Amino acid sequence: MDIIKIIGVGLIGLIIIIIMKQYKPDFVIYVSLIVGTIILFMIMDKLNGIIDILTSLSNKASINSEFLVILLKITGIAFLTEFAVSICNDSGETAIANKIDLGGKIIIIAISIPIISALLELIIKILP
């Protein structure tokens, strides 16, 4: 049960943060970053398994591998953006968090243009 390990790391980090807020509040953000990084490393092998499954399914379905790469990039950008936004919000920097969120959304739209254009071309071919 990997989720129990992840929850355990998160709760231990939370306890450390609560204790550190009383004595060294400047170091709270560092503990939050370290805990977040540990959790990300804990889920990396699961992510590799998901990528392998998606790759084999796209090969079987004869889906353009470029689209799969784009979808994986979009997913990675979304996760990293959410991680950064959460850290900024935890630090009380909501203005920066909003800008990071907006930047992530714009980059996702820019990266998804090939998929959107392929979809539109398919629709145009289907319509008389």
Q: How far apart are CA 76 and CA 25, in angstroms?
A: 31
Domain ranges of the chain: 1-60, 64-128
pTM: 0.71
Give the C-alpha distances (Å, rounded to integers) separating 70 from 67, 81, 95, 118, 126.
Answer: 5, 16, 29, 13, 24
pLDDT at residue 78, as a whole number: 94
Decide: 104 and 77 in contact? Cβ < 8 Å.
yes
The end-to-end CA distance of the chain, in Å, is 53
pLDDT at residue 83, as a whole number: 85
Q: What is the pLDDT of residues 8-63, one digit of tens each?
A: 999 999 899 999 989 888 888 888 889 988 988 888 878 888 888 888 887 887 77
